[in-house]
Amino acid sequence: MRDFPAPTAATWSYAETFVPEDDVLAAARARAEEVGATAIGSGVGAALRFVAAALDARAVVEVGTGAGVSGLWLLRGMHADGVLTTVDIEAEHQRLARESFAEAGFRTQRVRTISGAALDVLPRLTDGHYDLVFCDAEKAEYSSYLDEALRLLRPGGVVAFDNALWHDRVADPAQRDEQTVAIRDLGRAVLDHDDLMPVMLPLGDGLLVAKKL
């Protein structure tokens, strides 16, 4: 395998901000910071928008609404009539997200916010109905989110997980805390699954993406 030099900080920053954020995204990011909701970076957001657009996604599930940063990126890539179903246990975060979506000009019919624990909500969603499932919530539950995503996705659909490198801890076998182990186990499960075609993107804190075959 050919070795490539690690990118410099300047190169990494250039790649992360290659697709710039506008004032609406900046405002959503500010709302997230105010309530302590960690938002995805612009590199991950641009990747999610690209995947949603490539799928011409009409139905997307988001696990972890935050204040709407990731939802904005997803909606901007989806089909003009596509519906984003976004799940979060924090009702206040979802209220702020709705402000972000309204500020961006998205009709209320394009977003379905569901307040509740993901593993209580996801089993109630329709099998095989969704084009894309994006997960950015409880890391210890990532493997369970994968199980639900495989049921929810249509053939050819895509599942994506944020924080797949988890602050450089996943690649270090000495790191054995619960969240790191859970994300590491998720990566192995995705790699070993016969019905998934995976790729690890070194964007932000890592974006694990897999297509359901």
Confidence bin at 4 (pLDDT 50/70/90): confident
Contact 87, 111 (CB under 8 A): no
Is 3 contained in some domain? no
Is 49 contained in some domain? yes
Percent over 70 (pLDDT), the chain: 99
d(CA 40, CA 19): 14
Output the domain CATH number for residue 70.
Answer: 3.40.50.150
Q: Over the stretch 32-66, which tens digit does the pLDDT of each residue have?
A: 999 999 999 999 999 999 999 999 999 999 999 99
β-sheet bridge partners, residue 160: 134, 209
In what helix (H) or strand (E) does residue 68 lie, and over which residues does it extend?
A: none
Q: Over the stretch 70-119, which tens digit does the pLDDT of each residue have?
A: 999 999 999 999 999 999 999 999 999 999 999 999 999 999 999 999 99
Is 80 contained in some domain? yes
Which domain, by its residues, includes 137? Answer: 9-212
Contact 77, 50 (CB under 8 A): yes
Q: Please say if the pLDDT value at position 170 is more than 90.
A: yes
In what helix (H) or strand (E) does residue 196 lie, and over which residues does it extend?
A: strand 196-201
Nearest to residue 189, comparing CAs of 172, 155, 164, 166? 164
- Number of domain units in the chain: 1
The overall average pLDDT reported for the chain is: 96
Is 44 contained in some domain? yes
What's the DSSP call for residue 41?
A: P
Is 2 contained in some domain? no
